[in-house]
Amino acid sequence: MKRILTFGPDVGVEFGWLLVKVIPKIRHMALNFDETYVITTPDRMFAYKDFAKPYTEMTETLKQNMWRFDDCEITHVHPTKGLCCDSIGDLFYKYGQGSKGAGECIVIHMRNKGDGREWDNKTWNVFLKGLKKITDLPIFSIGTQIHGCSDDVYGCYAPSDSAICFLSEAKLCIGPSSGAMHLASLCGCPQIVWSDSRRWNLGSKKGTNRERYETEWNPFKTEAIVIDQYGWQPPVDIVLEEVKKFLERK
């Protein structure tokens, strides 16, 4: 009997949690099934494609070959917080393997959710001006980019295959704590990330975002320089100094 695993929909699941606490469990579960399908949005499918196919492919097959599925056992898993803490094993995948990268560059993540956990347009432009004095490397942006920022910063709107191309060869990723920064960790891209120092739910326990980036949510031990003593609004010169020190070491 053919065993099929389906998962989703993952709409509403925070991107960082999805990458680090959910998908690795589904990937591990998939080892025991013949085929795995996920219900997700097109821009998130890149995170699954190493082990699964979009659910649309399954539905099309069902329409065309319904009688062949009489001898199938289909197991469906819903995304829940309980799944994140389940004792199911985790199987991590290093994103960017085999990608044709964008070449050596700097990646920035200009998070723009309007919840006070990011710099505003003016601050980012001051930072970019200072960054260009430190390095001649091209600068790319991933995630939600603030409208009106420097015209010579190119990138993609959401984490995607394009983001992986940037991160796979980037020298450094810079930005506030966010799902895109966890993607950088899973691509093996060193990062300078800022956050507050409060204790958050890490899935299996409570801890700081420093713990998240340095150990708990960092399966490949990607270098993470965490700035957490200034909260969500670190001074530009502090971040630039960390960038300078990192680039001098590399």
Q: What pLDDT, in 10s, does the model give residues 173-225?
A: 999 999 999 999 999 999 999 999 999 999 878 999 999 999 999 999 999 99
Backbone CA torsion sign across 14, 48, 139, 130: positive
Residues 75 and 58 sit within 8 Å (Cβ to Cβ): no
| Closest to 95 in 3D by CA, of 57, 131, 142 | 142
Residues 193 and 203 sit within 8 Å (Cβ to Cβ): no
Residues 92 and 24 sit within 8 Å (Cβ to Cβ): yes
| Closest to 71 in 3D by CA, of 1, 148, 163 | 1
| pLDDT number for residue 166 | 85
pLDDT averaged over every residue in the chain = 88
Joined together, the tokens standing for residue 39 give 């219900």
**pLDDT at residue 132 tops 80:** yes
**pLDDT at residue 71 tops 70:** yes
Contacts of 46 (CB under 8 A, 6+ apart): 95, 159, 160, 161, 164
**pLDDT at residue 5 tops 90:** yes
Q: What pLDDT, in 10s, does the model give residues 14-66?
A: 999 999 999 999 999 999 999 999 999 988 999 999 999 999 888 777 766 65
Residues 197 and 227 sit within 8 Å (Cβ to Cβ): no
| pLDDT number for residue 145 | 57
Q: What domains are there in the chain, each with its CATH number?
A: 2-85 (no CATH), 106-249 (3.40.50.2000)
Residues 142 and 128 sit within 8 Å (Cβ to Cβ): no
Angstrom distance (rounded) from CA 196 to CA 118: 11
Contacts of 63 (CB under 8 A, 6+ apart): none
| pLDDT number for residue 148 | 46
